[in-house]
Amino acid sequence: MLQLKQKLSEKIDQHRPRTTRLLKEFGEVKVDEVKIRQVIGGMRGLKCLVTDISYLDPYEGIRYRGMTLPEVFEKLPKPEGKQYPYVEGLFYLLLTGEIPTKDQVLEIVEEFKKRRQLPQYVIDVLRAMPTDSHPMVMFSTAVLVMQRESKFAKFYREGYNKWTAWEYMLEDAMNLLPKLPTIAAYIYRMKYRSDIHIPEDPSQDFGGHFAHMMGIPEPFDDVARMYFIIHADHESGNVSAHTGHLVASALSDPYYAISAMLDGLAGPLHGLANQEVLRWIQGMMKKFGDKLPSEDDMKQYVWDTLNAGQVIPGFGHAVLRKTDPRYMVQREFALKHLKDDLLFKYVDMLFKIVPPILKEQGKAKNPWPNVDAHSGTILWYYGVREYEFYTVMFGIGRSIGVLSNIIWDRALGYPIERPKSITTDMLEEIAGIK
């Protein structure tokens, strides 16, 4: 048995009595109140989900299993000579809550290598799709078409047991996750690199494999590790994580859940925002003749965007109330590797100029930059210039968190999700106006 599975099994055994006790003895204790503005307003702030994988503090940003991103980067084992840790180690951390030893990580690295090749039918399906299909559509389709491989679905058909179901979810996750970089790179090379594909290099870890299959040299392998790790999880109420959880709650297997979560990630207010950011900044660069504008000219451009009724992409957040630490991780990387790049200089200037303007406008609750304000800049610098592909990379990262969450969902026997809806008439009655 993999050390990961052994450790996870111990953790699940330790955890189950906590959930059982809460349900049995404290099931009627009130957690929160529901206000009309939350019912109409996308359930913002409503405490109605539970996850131990990550927690988003509005002022501090994301913690994975209690650790900040800098702590995660410092503590997880790294490949020799690399700046960022093994992505496989993050999977271990999110699942078990413990920092793995190098040996425990290398076991997953080797396991993933055995499972990352694509079945031919996945390639056939991708090749049969219209060439102008969005890469997110291709990505989601490739995951969905592999549903026939699901060990969880087979287990369900052949006699389901609630308490061992997580083992089949883990098996599906171990089969699906390492294939995601392979699928993504295949889509990329098929669509944008003359359909010329690169044979895999068996020495590469998850991040290195992606960079290699994309055909982009070092340090893009480290960009990939950093990018996948910072995008992995953002607690469970965001659209992608929540969709994955919701779909899996119907006992749909990980292939269905990940395909669905990718569809949610593809929305412009969520994972697609990184492509919107770059489109917007490059529109500005074009206007200023590919030179850095004066602060006043940039301020005017920002105001013009707002006055046209548009949002400033890459700024604001539904939960965060400070600069996103995922933005800061990327900024640190950019200051080290691309500080003289014109696009980065624009991002750097916007970092200073936009927040005071959003504060002055007084609408956005959070005027600070989010993860998406930066990511496109780094990818562009290393030659990934097809904006529409950026969300695919986000999706690889987010799958690590969603898969960890849905394995735990089954381990703790969470039920099918089914909130109650009411009518506008009823809301008016509750408000006392009817």
The catalytically annotated residue of 317, 324, 348, 374 is 317
In the stretch 353-372, what mask flags binding to ligand HAX with x, by CB under 6 A? Answer: -----x----xxxx---xxx
Is 266 a residue that touches ligand HAX (CB under 6 A)?
no
372 is catalytic: yes
Exactly one of 79, 254, 271, 325 binds ligand HAX (CB under 6 A); that residue is 271
Q: Which is nearer to ligand HAX, 304 or 429 (CB)?
A: 304
Rounded distance, CA 267 to CA 13, Å? 38
In the stretch 285-304, what mask flags binding to ligand HAX with x, by CB under 6 A? Answer: --------------------
242 is catalytic: no
Q: Using DSSP, state whether 34 is helix, strand or coil.
A: coil
Residue range at the interface with ligand HAX (CB under 6 A); choices 103-111, 170-178, 269-277, 326-334: 269-277
Q: Which two tokens stand for residue 297?
A: 């000219």
Do 364 and 316 meet the contact criterion of CB atoms below 8 Å apart? yes
Q: Which residues are within 8 A (CB) of 395 and not within 5 positions of it... i.e. 6 or more apart? A: 136, 139, 180, 184, 240, 261, 262, 265, 271
Q: Which is nearer to ligand HAX, 89 or 395 (CB)?
A: 395
* Cross-strand bridge partners of residue 54: 64
Rounded distance, CA 233 to CA 91, Å? 11
Give Dmax over CA atoms of the chain in angstroms. 69
- Residue whose tokens read 């959880």: 245
Do 298 and 284 meet the contact criterion of CB atoms below 8 Å apart? yes
Q: Which residues are within 8 A (CB) of 253 and not within 5 positions of it... i.e. 6 or more apart? A: 147, 150, 152, 153, 156, 169, 172
Do 242 and 405 meet the contact criterion of CB atoms below 8 Å apart? no
Select from 314, 241, 234, 306 the least CA-distant residue to 273.
Answer: 314
DSSP-derived secondary structure letter, 315: B
In the stretch 305-334, what mask flags binding to ligand HAX with x, by CB under 6 A? Answer: -x----xxxxxxxx----------------
The CA dihedral of 124, 127, 130, 134, to the nearest 10 degrees, is 100
# residues near ligand HAX by CB under 6 A: 22
Peptide bond into 219 cis (omega under 30): yes
Is 40 a residue that touches ligand HAX (CB under 6 A)?
no
Give the CB-nearest residue to ligand HAX: 316
The catalytically annotated residue of 221, 372, 374, 409 is 372
User: At its nearest, how many Å lie between ligand HAX and the CB of residue 251?
Assistant: 27
Do 176 and 164 meet the contact criterion of CB atoms below 8 Å apart? no
341 is catalytic: no
Q: Which is nearer to ligand HAX, 344 or 368 (CB)?
A: 368
In the stretch 371-390, what mask flags binding to ligand HAX with x, by CB under 6 A? Answer: xx------------------
Q: Which is nearer to ligand HAX, 45 or 215 (CB)?
A: 45
Is 37 a residue that touches ligand HAX (CB under 6 A)?
no
Q: Which is nearer to ligand HAX, 148 or 363 (CB)?
A: 363
Q: Which is nearer to ligand HAX, 136 or 364 (CB)?
A: 364
Is 397 a residue that touches ligand HAX (CB under 6 A)?
no
Is 61 a residue that touches ligand HAX (CB under 6 A)?
no
Is 235 a residue that touches ligand HAX (CB under 6 A)?
no
Exactly one of 191, 270, 326, 410 binds ligand HAX (CB under 6 A); that residue is 270
The catalytically annotated residue of 212, 231, 234, 270 is 270
Contacts 24+ apart (CB under 8 A), 193-198: none
Q: Which is nearer to ligand HAX, 37 or 115 (CB)?
A: 37
Contacting positions for ligand HAX (CB under 6 A) = 238, 269-271, 273, 306, 311-318, 358, 363-366, 370-372
Active site amino acids: 270, 317, 372
